[in-house]
Each structure stands twice: as structure tokens, then as C-alpha cells.
Amino acid sequence: MSLLTAFGLFAVTAMLVTYALERRSPWWVLAFAGSCWLASAYGFLQGAWPFGLVGAVWGVVAVRRWQAARADLAAAHLVHRRPPS
């Protein structure tokens, strides 16, 4: 197995694992974005530029979802806070 193939295997495996864990924490969504960008780099390095392009776009979409999830958590935290006595 070449180093490039091992890198691609790692990137795609990371995508799968982080996607499966996304509901646990918004940080997994951000990790998914990073793994998408790793897979994108693999696609470009391999010469499969459509795969690289789609991976980069998915990374941007995941960062937007992470931002939304963080905002939702912050809003939920404010709603459940008790006023000082």
C-alpha cells in the first residue's frame, strides 16, 4: 500500500467515524469538516479533482453546521439558566 493510499484510507475512515459521532457533540461536526478536507486533499493529490472539490465543499457545509449547532447549544444554555436569587 502506498503512502498516498494509506492517507486516503485514513481520511475516509475519519470521515466515517466522525460522521457517526456527530450527534454526541458539535465538536464531532467540526472534526467531520476536518476529515472532509483531508479527503479532499487526498482526492486532489490522487488526481481525482471532482472528489477533491466535493470533499472541500462538504467541509465548508460541515463548518456551517458546526456553527449552527454551537449557536443552538448556546441558546439552549441561556434558556435553561436560572436567574440569580
Domains contained in the chain, number: 1
Question: Above 90 in pLDDT, residue 73?
Answer: no
With cut-offs at 50, 70 and 90, classify the pLDDT of residue 51.
very high
Range(s) of the domain holding residue 69: 3-80
Mean pLDDT in residue range 21-26: 94
In a domain, 51, yes or no: yes
- Res 81: pLDDT: 63
Report the pLDDT value the prediction gives residue 85, as an integer from 0 to 100.
63
CB 29, CB 62: distance < 8 Å: yes
* In-domain check, residue 44: yes
The answer to whether residue 85 is domain-embedded is no
Q: What angle do CA 19, 70, 74 make, to 5 degrees?
A: 145
In angstroms, rounded to a whole number, what is the distance separating the alpha carbons of residues 35 and 80?
33
Q: Is residue 49 packed enough to be buried (19+ CB in 10 Å), middle (13-18) or exposed (0-12)? A: exposed
In a domain, residue 34? The reply is yes
Number of alpha carbons in the 13 Å side-chain half-sphere of residue 6: 3
